[in-house]
Structure 1
């Protein structure tokens, strides 16, 4: 299993990144000591580093240079700084790629996998894309498709992410805050109506596939996957 080191001082973002990477069979570790990240780097010996620029004490450029003194592992910057000069500085200090915040977690996974393929070759063959199966219903999150009895429907990106979180969380209820964070990344400008509209669209597509009432609304909390194959 490939190891990823996350150097990000926002604990919320760091935890979400860690959880998402682990779902894709990546061994993700999070830095908590920003005075010196090198001891953890040496302990983990990561195959790839996700690195923020704005960090306590020393910035990401500094740590990128320190890592480059001892390792050639891929380094991907993840930062709210979207200026051209910031991206140039990241690359000149030894980074391999740059992702701006707010970001799509699927884009992060795609870029991580691309770097692992580039550097480690056959390691990429070990990845298993997530699939969900229940009875004769199959869902492929990265392809944005759901199948039943030989019929295939395409989902939008948000519909696919919504279904993935709700189905993955079953039999527990996926609360609204989790859905906001994983689907839209930034929750500031998202309201309950936006989520409700997306759930309604997803339910309509599932109904078109002959899947009746698979998503239960739990008042004041969120949504639950309750699909049962009809006999």
Structure 2
């Protein structure tokens, strides 16, 4: 069964969530020392991180960003903040989903199961390498490389790049991307998709590729690998 790390400083809420998750057979690790949260996460090696925003010492946004630099572990943010920009920021920093407080445990469980299913279950891809020319997508290490340059990807970034690479030179509709990255129960809107595409473009920029993801206004996106060959861009 999956191991879940719970980072929540509200003792009563933490206990309630822990008890509820354990009913479903999950193994729960609760962070004790909020001054060394990152260390506890790396030592426990959980399959899922449930991370509150308002924490002692370091807030959840900081921890999410720090974890995402070195790990593709799925992250669900929990917070009393319901503003759209907070939710967009969480997704931009690498979170997979966002749950607002007070937490509805039924909805919360749907999100937990959905994230785990997308990451490890029936919707997860088998380990494989996907290459187009010098561009290589490695699921084993969640890395994207081009010639000598390499960047680490989150799970959603990997899935989105894989979708685009497998359908290069064909328009991928926004609906197809929604179906691949999220499901109807997850937090998602147009801003979330735009943020994910922007992050992906930044990843390509880091390895020296510009304008490889073209926007088809009102429809979706197209992966134009020809830009790596010096051909004329749109």
Distance (Å, rounded) in 1 between the aligned partners of 2:28 and 2:83: 28
Q: Equivalent residue for 1:3?
A: 3
Q: Are residues 1:68 and 2:78 paired?
A: no
Distance (Å, rounded) in 1 between the aligned partners of 2:71 and 2:109: 22
Q: Equivalent residue for 1:102?
A: 102
Shift of 1:38: 1.5
Deviations 1:19-50 (A, max 9, x none): 10000011111112111112211121111111
Q: Equivalent residue for 1:81?
A: 81
Q: Equivalent residue for 1:90?
A: 90
**CA 1:35/1:104 → structure 2, altered by over 3 Å: closer, same or farther?**
same
Q: Are residues 1:44 and 2:82 paired?
A: no
Name the SS of the counterpart of 1:110 in structure 2: helix
User: May I ask how many residue pairs the two structures share in their alignment?
Assistant: 124
Name the SS of the counterpart of 1:38 in structure 2: helix
Shift of 1:107: 1.1
Q: Equivalent residue for 1:227?
A: none
Q: Once superposed, which parts of structure 1, at least 4 consecutive aligned residues long, lie more than 4 Å away?
A: none
Distance (Å, rounded) in 2 between the aligned partners of 1:104 and 1:68: 27
Stretches of structure 1 that go unaligned for 5 or more consecutive residues are 125-231
Tell me which structure has the larger Cα radius of gyration.
Answer: 1
Distance (Å, rounded) in 1 between the aligned partners of 2:120 and 2:112: 12
Distance (Å, rounded) in 1 between the aligned partners of 2:57 and 2:42: 20
Shift of 1:123: 10
Distance (Å, rounded) in 2 between the aligned partners of 1:106 and 1:29: 21
Shift of 1:74: 0.9
User: Residues 8-27 of structure 1: matches in 2 within 5 Å?
Assistant: 8-27=8-27
Shift of 1:67: 1.0
Distance (Å, rounded) in 1 between the aligned partners of 2:49 and 2:92: 16
Q: Equivalent residue for 2:134?
A: none
Shift of 1:18: 0.6
Distance (Å, rounded) in 1 between the aligned partners of 2:123 and 2:21: 15
Distance (Å, rounded) in 2 between the aligned partners of 1:47 and 1:122: 16
TM-score (norm 2): 0.51
User: Residues 1-231 of structure 1: matches in 2 within 5 Å?
Assistant: 1-122=1-122
Q: Equivalent residue for 1:187?
A: none
Q: Is the Cα–Cα contact under 8 Å of residues 116 and 123 in structure 1 kept in the other structure?
A: no
Shift of 1:122: 4.6
Stretches of structure 2 that go unaligned for 5 or more consecutive residues are 125-234
